[in-house]
Amino acid sequence: QVDVVESGGGSVQAGASLRLSCAVSGLSFDRHAMAWFRRAPGKEREFVASIDSDGSRIYYADSVKGRFAISRDDARNTVYLQMNSLDPEDAAKYFCVADSLIWGSASPTDFNAGDYWGQGTQVTVSS
């Protein structure tokens, strides 16, 4: 059984920072690309960032480039999302996902409903 558990969400003021964590168990973590998505109320789920198995390929949504950073610690089976300069537009539920295939490219389109998703962690940003 694969478990994907996000943590680190919270309520912050605009301009603040948060670091989300995602702990994964039940698979060979270092072989799988990882990604973060988010869904705001009334909006579609959107891609935020992804990282391949060795960290050599990283992708970001245009809306977070320069403010967010994805990283992974294979020793801890954990992927992180450092979020800086948060804006009320960043308020959403953030989901972590592990690519069900190994050695994936981490392309945003690689991640779909058939992969391993967490339950999400809520981020609220007030102006």
Task: Give me the mean pLDDT over the 100-120 stretch.
Answer: 95
Instruction: Decide if 81 contacts 70 (C-beta within 8 A).
Output: yes
Separation CA 124–CA 9 (nearest Å): 8
Task: Give me the mean pLDDT over the 55-75 stretch.
Answer: 98
Mean pLDDT of the chain: 97
Alpha helices in 5-99 (DSSP H): none
Instruction: Decide if 36 contacts 18 (C-beta within 8 A).
Output: no
Separation CA 35–CA 47 (nearest Å): 8
Please give the structure tokens belonging to residue 6.
Answer: 């996000």
Task: Give me the mean pLDDT over the 112-119 stretch.
Answer: 96
